[in-house]
């Protein structure tokens, strides 16, 4: 009898799925599972809340705002909530760079020292074992200049003071790289005096490269980074809530994290978005909403155009979203290759190169990036799909990237 009942239930579910698999190509039961699963973790106070959006064929198939925008105030999450997107700033700055390439104002092969002479004659750090058994940092000349392409694909030899440890990373921490009080010129002066972690053009290393790229955009364009991006990308695309800070009248829309992560017990620290920062971080300084980022992502998915506004040519989008590491034999041999198995890296985004290997479903050619505080997006051209996940829970970011992607593809018809 139980078996017969189960069969009836399965038939009813299959019928409901068939009835609810609309033009967007998702099963209603699958999307309901996504909602219920994320809500479970919100109810368990693992994360304060989240905003999720899925689009297919240029149409929004699903969008939800769940939980709390600000757990301290009890403010409910909304589709208009403004998030710190951290490294999801990088694809925006990368698009800005490619616009200058299209205008003939930059070449990908240009040495960055052409525009920033501070990066002339760089040195590479080499760890050597001393006679007393300790490691010491030696230096050797860079064998070639850092290029614009190196900045875009993270093969510049620059690094961060986080994501692993080394004597070079320790020098970054000692120098205070990332100090928000610095000017752009002070940032360039400080980082260019530090040794590179790898020879330029050899190894993928997540780094301050896109911060340097943002300053390069300022020097080439003669505009501040916020103004350049607003004039060339944000305003043309109608991204009204995206920028490097949030005006006072909109402070009530800013998402916040739990002060202490409930799963790890780690104190949560995030940047301050309520006033204009002195240093505009092209690598991680922007704020945005799910609908604003949808417009940026849909522009890329459309081959560089949205609503009659062309930002980039189809050729440039293809160049950005193809792997630029395949002919560099040691590119993935660094301390921490963040794109992971099955992925290469293009110009500002990770690019899937294999059907298998990756720990998440997807398609060869899908491209993606994420942000430190828990934001994430990807575009799958084969499925005509894009998805965006936004939360403010830095300690939980890796788990929810995988969970969200699994549930999205599980709902796909």
Write down all domains in the chain, each with its CATH number in brackets.
24-96+222-411 (3.40.710.10), 105-220 (1.20.58)
Kindly report the number of other CB atoms within 10 A of residue 130's CB atom.
8
pTM for this prediction: 0.92
pLDDT at 17: 43
pLDDT at 401: 97
pLDDT at 5: 41
Distance (Å, rounded) from C-alpha 217 to C-alpha 204? 22
Cα–Cα nearest to 172, from 185, 158, 184 = 158
Distance (Å, rounded) from C-alpha 316 to C-alpha 343? 20
pLDDT in tens, the chain (413 residues): 334 444 445 544 444 444 344 447 999 999 999 999 999 999 999 999 999 999 999 999 999 999 999 999 999 999 999 999 999 999 999 999 999 999 999 999 999 999 999 999 999 999 888 777 788 899 999 999 999 999 999 999 999 988 888 999 999 999 999 888 999 999 999 999 999 999 999 999 999 999 999 999 999 999 999 999 999 999 999 999 999 999 999 999 999 999 999 999 999 999 999 999 999 999 999 999 999 999 999 999 999 999 999 999 999 999 999 999 999 999 999 888 999 999 999 999 999 999 999 999 999 999 999 999 999 999 999 999 999 999 999 999 999 999 999 999 999 99
pLDDT at 20: 43
Tokens of 397: 């970011």
Question: Residue 290, CB half-sphere, CA atoms under 13 Å: how many?
Answer: 28
> How far from 75 is each of 46, 171, 363, 385, CA to CA, in Å?
17, 41, 37, 31
């Amino acid at each position: 009898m139980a078996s017969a009942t189960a069969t009836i239930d399965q038939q009813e579910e299959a019928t409901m799925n068939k009835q609810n698999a609309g033009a967007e190509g998702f099963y209603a039961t699958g999307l309901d599972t996504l909602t219920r699963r994320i809500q479970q973790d919100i109810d368990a106070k693992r994360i304060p809340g989240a905003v999720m959006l899925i689009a297919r064929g240029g149409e929004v198939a699903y969008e939800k705002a769940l939980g709390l925008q600000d757990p301290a105030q009890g403010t409910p999450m909304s589709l208009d909530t403004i998030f710190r997107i951290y490294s999801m700033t990088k694809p925006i700055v990368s698009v800005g760079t490619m616009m200058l390439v299209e205008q003939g104002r930059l070449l990908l092969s240009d040495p960055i020292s052409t525009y920033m002479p501070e990066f002339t004659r760089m040195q590479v750090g080499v760890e050597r074992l001393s006679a007393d058994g300790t490691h010491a940092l030696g230096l050797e000349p860079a064998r070639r200049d850092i290029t614009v392409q190196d900045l875009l694909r993270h093969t510049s030899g620059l690094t961060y003071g986080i994501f692993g440890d080394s004597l070079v990373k320790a020098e970054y921490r000692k120098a205070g790289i990332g100090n928000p009080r610095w000017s752009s010129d002070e940032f360039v002066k400080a980082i260019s005096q530090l040794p590179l972690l790898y020879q330029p053009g050899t190894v993928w290393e997540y780094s301050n490269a896109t911060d340097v790229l943002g300053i390069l955009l300022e020097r080439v364009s003669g505009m501040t980074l916020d103004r350049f991006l607003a004039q060339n990308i944000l305003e043309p695309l109608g991204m009204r809530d995206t920028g490097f800070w949030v005006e006072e009248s909109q402070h009530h829309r800013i998402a916040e994290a739990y002060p202490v992560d409930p799963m790890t017990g780690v104190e949560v620290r995030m940047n301050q978005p309520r006033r204009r920062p002195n240093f505009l971080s092209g690598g991680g300084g922007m704020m945005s909403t799910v609908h604003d980022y949808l417009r940026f992502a849909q522009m890329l998915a459309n081959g560089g155009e949205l609503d009659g506004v062309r930002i980039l040519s189809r050729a440039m989008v293809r160049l950005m979203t193809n792997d630029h590491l395949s002919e560099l034999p040691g590119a993935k041999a660094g301390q921490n290759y963040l794109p992971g198995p099955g992925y290469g890296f293009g110009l500002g985004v990770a690019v899937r190169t294999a059907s298998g290997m990756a720990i998440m479903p997807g398609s060869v050619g899908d491209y993606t990036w994420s942000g430190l505080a828990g934001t994430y997006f990807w575009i799958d051209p084969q499925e005509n799909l894009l998805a965006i996940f936004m939360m403010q829970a830095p300690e939980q970011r890796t788990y929810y990237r995988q969970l969200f992607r699994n549930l999205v593809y599980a709902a796909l018809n």
